[in-house]
Structure 1
Amino acid sequence: MTVRFFHTSDWHLGQFFYNHSRHYEHKQFLGWLLQQIKLKQPHALLIAGDIFDVINPASAAQKQLYQFLADAHDLAPHMQTLMIAGNHDSGYRIEQVEPLLEKYNAKTIGVIHKNAEGQLDLDRLMLPIYDENKNIVAWCLALPFLRPAEITGINEQTTNSQTAIAYLHQQLIAEAKKRKKPEQALILMSHAHMQGGETSDSERPIIIGNEEALSTALFDDAIDYVALGHLHKPQKVGQEHIRYSGSPIPLSFSEINYKHQVVDVTLNPNQSDTSRYQFEAIGIPRSIHLHKIKGELNDVFTQLKALPHGEISNIDHREYIDIEYHTLTPPQPNLRQQLEDALPKNRYRLVRISRQYLATEQQGEAHAQTSLEPPTPEKLFQQIWDKNGYSTDDAVLKDFLSLIQDAEKSLEDEQHN
């Protein structure tokens, strides 16, 4: 039997980009995705985590998701939408609306649960995918972002997060292999950082020094496709069938050149190893362009004036500008206004200006950069750490990030209770 599905992830609904809402960009993406669903009628849509940008998404972001699910169900009533929570999501929150999701043939796995015996509840993580005739054509093993508190300490094989993650994969895949029939495909959907994955500067760190990046050795050869979320660049990891779909829109200026896409996957387990899967990367149109302008000030002004003209009346639809200028001297007080005036009128939003002091060749000093971008908790911690003269310590930074995750988990638990 053949199963066809779309793989997407990292929507980050509700994101604000330097205090500018991405609502319009997400609306354009979701409208485009609905057209693809109507045209190709897949059996399933897999959303591999980071559905929302924050654990407490605004009502407008939640409305976007649920309106999309309703519209998708109208266009493809047989299609199932399967979602997992990412590290930006509240697993409890997205599970609380299960009765609503059922109306739209959707299912979400937000957290790892334990059964009455205190063991991992594997049944909840194995989601059947049906064809138009209600035959099971595949099983999706759905693994949300794995927080240590949810999976450690269950038995002697789960003493720390690494052993717990390995144990969970082994148990889940073994159970799925017992359950599946030869003609059914096995799909594993996970929100994780895999070894060898290429990152951007917009992903929230969930590992330190790559020591906790997961190995693709976790995936048994019986798995026909691994649908990954977390990294924003579309990419394969080691093998053709282990993939990050990437984010649908650029979430930072470092992602300007990413070819954002949804992966259209067709699996036929009855075929030989070389032809049992087919992939098509469906390119996502970019509704708002990002521009990064770099160079000495005179060159920056020249580049700004050379940008395309033509007014865009709605400010929420205007293109984004990031300027990094190089200088030997402190900036003039009215520099921002000068830069704004150099831009073609009513087409762009200047969202970031950073300066890089160029040392003279004789001094041989390193470049120093000052950015106006608000610091993340990790960057702020690193700045304070450096300011106090301490050397870089991955173990300390790992502990700090663990505290952030614990604080987020505590907040989720309070909301859940």
Structure 2
Amino acid sequence: MKILHTSDWHLGASYEGVSREEDHKFFLNWLLNTLNEQNIDVLLIAGDIFDQTQPSSESLKSYYQFLFHISKSTSVKKVIVLGGNHDSPSRLDAPAELLKLLDVFVVGGMTSDLDNLDKYLCPIYSSDNKIELIIATVPYIHEFRLGVRTAFLSEKEIQADFKNKFSELYKKLADKAEELAQNVPLIATGHLACTGSEKDDSPLEVHLVGTIGSLPSDIFDPRFCYVALGHVHRSYKVEKSNAYYSGSPIPLSIKESKTDRAVYVLNFKQDQITPDVEKITVPVLRNIVEISGELEEVYVKIKKLKWTTPLPPFLSLQINVESFSIGTDFQIRKEVESYFSKITDNNTMQEQAITSAFSKSVPIISQIKQYPIHKKQKVNIFEHNKSLKELTVEEIFIKMCELKNQTLDENLLTAFRSLISNENK
């Protein structure tokens, strides 16, 4: 029995307004191939299928096409889809009965009736119709559903209540699973922030009470040999537990581009209760690269760019400037696109038309930010031989321009003089 754990696809996501649809298609094609190459029996998706609660038609199409291709071109016998905090529980659950025909088990959300937990258990059957594994399917749960009430409670009391409620839930699920079958592996899922989450993990907080921080690893009943988690976009094993985050399969931020994307494969050998866990790196279509410095320095860094991914990276540029310039963005884009369009033409210097920003050979500049820097020492207009009363209005204006790093040319000075002249009429 082999299970593949993935999560946080965020279909429909964009980076600074640029669609990631192409990146998601690249991942889904890779995943289909991997399911076949690894002879996966169960695919487990631990939440945040979509980036928005109301996904676009393109995102829905990608999702349903993928599920259809699994049923037609792989040996996967069960797909488990769980809702995350970005998903709409009702939207995920709506086609659940129909998707059963494709052996897809969907749990969009969890109700407040925690005494009726059988519907959250997904038994996996062998070829001779015997239960060989049970998965407790826990989606994202709002604290209200767990019975957590925060009014008039201290932070310590809220933390204790969260821990107790989650611990009780996982214990009840393990009890129910053992009623179905004895001596078979038990797996649980979850979509939450657990021990090991870092402050700048994207995202960290998931519940409304952000002050409680991450949940401890001992909320998971020890009878679960593996807990497949979603929500944190970095892949890692939660300390002192059998819980793992698979992380997002495509980099959705600069930080995520600095670490490998991954899925986990669980291999249960014959009569083995605890699986062998293998981390498989997911290839990415392109990364997100941050470049900062003064304009000429940024140009040099961009021209030295190299990448091993199929497509060039997204560029997030931070330009240090003495003063803001409206034309800087256009100038940078034109320079970068012109440069890369030339070098891709067999490295000749023949002038070419500037290619589209979405060219396969031109990095996509997704963000340009200008940061004012102070090259000159700030001048305090009060630290002069003359007092403020002795300075003319024009002298004060000039000093203020210096303090704000605003370039003062003749046109600006003329406009100021004209304004003062009109005020004095």
TM over 0.5: yes
- Any conservation in 1 of the 2:195–2:215 contact (CA below 8 Å)? yes
When residues 270 and 359 of structure 1 are mapped into structure 2, their CA distance, relative to the original with a 3 A threshold, is farther
Q: Counterpart of 2:145 in 1: which secondary structure?
A: helix
Name the counterpart of 2:118.
Answer: 123
SS at match of 1:261: strand
2:223 paired with 1:225: no
Instruction: State the structure with more CA Rg.
Output: 2
1:297 equivalent in structure 2: 295
Cα distance in structure 2, aligned partners of 1:201 and 1:243: 15
Amino acid in the other structure paired with 1:227:
A
Q: Is contact 2:41-2:75 (8 Å) kept?
A: no
CA distance 1:358–1:121, change in 2 (3 Å) = farther
- CA-CA distance at 1:358 after TM superposition: 4.4
Match of 1:333 in 2: 326
Equivalence for 1:378: none
Deviates more, 1:97-106 or 1:191-200: 191-200
Aligned length: 345
**Could you tell me the TM-score, scaled by structure 1's length?**
0.75
Residue identity in the other structure for 1:348: P
CA RMSD of aligned residues (A): 2.8
In 1, the alpha carbon distance for the partners of 2:195 and 2:376 equals: 39
- Aligned pairs for 1:46-195 (under 5 A) are 46-113=44-111, 119-152=114-147, 161-182=162-183, 184-195=184-195
Q: Of the candidates 366, 379, 385, which is equivalent to residue 351 of structure 1?
A: 366
Q: What is the Cα deviation at residue 26 of structure 1? A: 0.8
Q: Could you report, residue by residue, the CA deviation over 1:262-317 in whole angstroms, capped at 9, with x for unpaired residues?
A: 11111359448xxx3212222211112322112233311111222359xx9xxxx6
Q: Which residue of 2 aligns with 1:321?
A: 315
CA distance in structure 2 between the partners assigned to 1:195 and 1:78 by the alignment: 32
Shift of 1:147: 0.7
Give the whole-Å Cα distance in 2 for the aligned partners of 1:237 and 1:129. 25
- Distance of 1:123 and 1:6 partners within structure 2: 23
Please tell me whether the aligned partners of residues 205 and 214 of structure 2 are also in contact (alpha carbons under 8 angstroms).
Answer: no
Task: In structure 1, list runs of 5 or more residues that go unmatched.
Answer: 364-417
- The structural deviation recorded for 1:181 is 1.6
Q: Give, in whole Å, the separation in 2 of the partners of 1:289 and 1:91.
A: 31
Give the whole-Å Cα distance in 1 for the aligned partners of 2:166 and 2:230: 16
Deviation at 1:359, TM superposition (A): 5.8
> Secondary structure of 1:149's match?
coil
Q: Determine the C-alpha separation between the residues in 1 that align with 2:204 and 2:98.
A: 30
Report the residue type matching 1:354 in the other structure.
K
Q: 1:246 to 1:132 in 2, by over 3 A?
A: farther
* 8 Å CA contact 1:140, 1:188 repeated in 2: yes
Deviations 1:211-250 (A, max 9, x none): 2421110112211101110011111110473210011100
Q: Cα–Cα, structure 1 residues 296 and 239, in superposed 2: closer, same or farther, change >3 Å?
A: farther
Whole-angstrom distance in 2 between the partners of 1:202 and 1:4 = 29
- Which stretches in structure 2 are left out of the alignment for 5+ residues? 150-157, 342-354, 356-361, 379-425
The 3 A distance-change label for structure 1 pair 150 and 128 is: same
Contact kept, 8 Å, 1:200 with 1:255, in 2: the verdict is no
User: 2:281: which partner in 1?
Assistant: 283
Amino acid at match of 1:319: P
Alignment-mate amino acid for residue 141 of structure 1: A
Q: Deviations over 1:325-382 (max 9, x none)?
A: 334x22333111221133123412211122344467988xxxxxxxxxxxxxxxxxxx
Aligned residue for 2:119, secondary structure, equals: helix
SS in structure 2 at match of 1:148:
coil
Matches of 1:150 and 1:131, distance apart in 2: 34
Q: TM-score, normalised by structure 2?
A: 0.74
Aligned counterparts, 1:251-270, within 5 A: 251-268=252-269, 270=271
Contact 2:234 2:245 in 1 (8 A): yes
Alpha-carbon deviation of 1:203? Answer: 2.1
After TM superposition, the runs of 4+ consecutive aligned structure 1 residues lying more than 6 A away are 360-363
Query: Aligned residues: percent identity?
Result: 28
SS at match of 1:108: strand
CA distance in 1, matches of 2:164, 2:241: 26
> 2: CA distance between counterparts of 1:259 and 1:37?
19
Map of 1:381 onto structure 2: none
Distance across 1 between alignment mates of 2:229 and 2:270: 20
Residues 340, 136 of structure 1: CA spacing in aligned structure 2 closer, same or farther, 3 A cutoff?
same
Query: Contact 1:304–1:342 (CA<8 Å) still a contact in 2?
Result: no
Question: Of residues 8, 21, 27 in structure 2, which corresponds to 1:29?
Answer: 27
